[in-house]
Amino acid sequence: MKGLYVHIPFCEHICHYCDFVKRVPKNKEMIDTYLTALQNEIESYQDHFQSIETIYIGGGTPSMLDVHQLEHLFEVLKNIHPSEYTIEVNPESYSIEKGELFKKYGINRISLGVQTFNDQLLNYLNRKHTKQLVFDVVAHLKSIGFSRISIDLIYAIPGQTLEDLYQDLQYIKDLDITHVSCYSLILEEKTYFYHQYLRGKFEQMDEDTEAKMYEIVMEELKKQGFEHYEISNYAKKENYSKHNLIYWTLGEYIGAGLGAHGFVNGYRTQNHRALPQYLKNPIEEKKFQEVDVLLQDELIFGLRKIDGVSLSMIHEKYGIDVFQKYPQLQEKIELGLIKIENDYLKLTEKGLFLGNQVFMVFI
């Protein structure tokens, strides 16, 4: 499969934890100018259109664009016919008109930025929606025929209790959706929370409680019928994110937009993160990927999947024995972090909590 990622960097406000490429636009003209440059970049990949099987419009906040701007974007993409077509949506910027526009242009999967259903914690994260708004948006999406709805959830938020988390997971059950991406809150540089941390005003949740929360997430979502198929991702009835599976299996994807990354024909591309440079020429760097780096990525991303990575596939593709090249892996087996099962190297349940200790072996 080949994917296309399209980045919309604009937000109406900046969440306190977010380190993605984003900015609050000065005016409507800034967005329009960006969309014209984005159109030119996407059209430069026309030769790939027939082979693109997934489109993912992310951000930023794609749903903050007005209806005319969204229509402009969708018109640029209308000659691509993917099997999976996702757009990220924030509840507060959704409208009935936008939902119907998504449907008109063939979008068939919605990724809804929720993070938590607790209104106090939402305020702490600088999110601008409420729990009720999430329910209203999901209800409308379902009423117009969207069956594939994913929700982003964050846990280990300072001040969040186990009871808060259980309540969030109960609301997931009540919504009856097909996919959940669930991450612990990570303190990233260049965020509001990081500046607060430097001033002694932000205290991360302790590791034991964070691990307990991850355990609760896995247990409760399993009870709800979700399959845990990647460290942070859960799906019902094999409604996996096909687009993200391209990343995790080292497939090809085009990255279009500010700060976007791509991997096509053996070349990694990285776009400019600063808007003035992007408007002049999108690509900042294009580099042929060395075999050792590909192998490293294949193992790290492959181990993120619950199924793990095929040892025979690695041997066939790279001509190496993983344990000879990375002898430290034996130690990780002895520590109970990884195991071999039917030719697949995979993280154990303990390893899911301590995956970074395994991934560091390959770096």
Tell me the pLDDT tens digit for each residue of 317-360: 999 999 999 999 999 999 999 999 999 999 999 999 999 999 99
User: 109-115 and 179-184 as β-strands: parallel, antiparallel, unpaired?
Assistant: unpaired
Do 167 and 300 lie in a common domain?
Answer: no
Q: What is the pLDDT of residues 251-262, one digit of tens each?
A: 999 999 999 999
Q: What is the pLDDT of residues 21-38, one digit of tens each?
A: 999 999 999 999 999 999
Do 232 and 357 lie in a common domain?
Answer: no
Do 155 and 29 lie in a common domain?
Answer: yes
Kindly report the CATH number assigned to the domain that includes residue 142: 3.20.20.70
Q: What is the pLDDT of residues 111-168, one digit of tens each?
A: 999 999 999 999 999 999 999 999 999 999 999 999 999 999 999 999 999 999 999 9
1, pLDDT greater than 90: no
d(CA 115, CA 19): 15
249, pLDDT greater than 90: yes
User: 309-310 and 344-347 as β-strands: parallel, antiparallel, unpaired?
Assistant: antiparallel
**Residue 260 is assigned to a structural domain of this protein:** no
**Residue 268 is assigned to a structural domain of this protein:** no
Do 242 and 298 lie in a common domain?
Answer: no
Do 210 and 354 lie in a common domain?
Answer: no
Do 126 and 180 lie in a common domain?
Answer: yes
**Residue 279 is assigned to a structural domain of this protein:** no
Do 295 and 227 lie in a common domain?
Answer: no
**Residue 285 is assigned to a structural domain of this protein:** no
Do 195 and 307 lie in a common domain?
Answer: no
pLDDT for position 82: 98
**Residue 80 is assigned to a structural domain of this protein:** yes
**Residue 284 is assigned to a structural domain of this protein:** no
Give me the domain span that covers residue 208. Answer: 2-246
Helix, strand, or coil (residue 154): strand
Do 302 and 195 lie in a common domain?
Answer: no
Q: What is the pTM of this model?
A: 0.96
Do 96 and 7 lie in a common domain?
Answer: yes
d(CA 45, CA 231): 32
Chain mean pLDDT for the chain:
97
Do 163 and 295 lie in a common domain?
Answer: no
Q: Domain tally for the chain?
A: 2
94, pLDDT greater than 90: yes
Do 193 and 340 lie in a common domain?
Answer: no
Amino acid at 9: P
The last residue of one of the domains, among 222, 246, 270, is: 246
pLDDT for position 317: 95
Residue 30 CA from chain centroid, whole number: 26
Distances (CA, A) of 220 to 126, 200, 216, 231, 240: 27, 34, 6, 15, 18
